[in-house]
Amino acid sequence: MSLVLVRVDNRLIHGQVLEAWLPHVQADIVVVVDDGIANDSFRKQLMLAVVPKTVRVDVYSHEQFEAVTHSLFSGDSKGLVLFATPADALKAYRGGFHFSTLNLGNMHVGPQKCCISQTLYVDCADLDDLEQLTELGVEICAQCIPTDRKLHWDCHCKELRA
């Protein structure tokens, strides 16, 4: 499987991913890496129910994903990998799943979070995780759907830390 998109989106699989990103990147496999979903069969089945039958969905805990990462990315398939948080993406990167770009989708409002865009709110922990990914050479852009303008993270990160 070739990697066509790595995305942080706390909603994981939803309309923007299904209706915009899947057709745009022509992915035929969606990989969700989330301990909570992987260990909750009800939530997992709900997620699987909304995906078209032509798209395979694999849901892994971090531990499971780390074990299959190297065997997962072979063959002719195109894969889209989803994480709920920047911390999850960083954990996977440190566990051996290396990617060159990271798309930031939806990160909802919460305590101590500042607004980057209408759909992107970050706190200090998110900033730290995203900075570490940048230091590891990952290019980070915020973009809800493919037709939106990309917001390059390195510019925002410097502004937020100032």
43-90 pLDDT tens trace: 999 999 999 999 999 999 999 999 998 888 777 889 999 999 999 999
Would you say residue 146 has pLDDT above 70?
Answer: yes
Q: What is the CATH number of the domain that holds 62?
A: 3.40.35.10
Give the range of the structural domain holding residue 88, as residue numbers without chain letter. Answer: 2-161
78-120 pLDDT tens trace: 999 999 999 999 999 999 999 999 999 999 898 889 888 888 9
Number of domains the chain is built from: 1
- Enter the tokens of residue 40: 């909750």
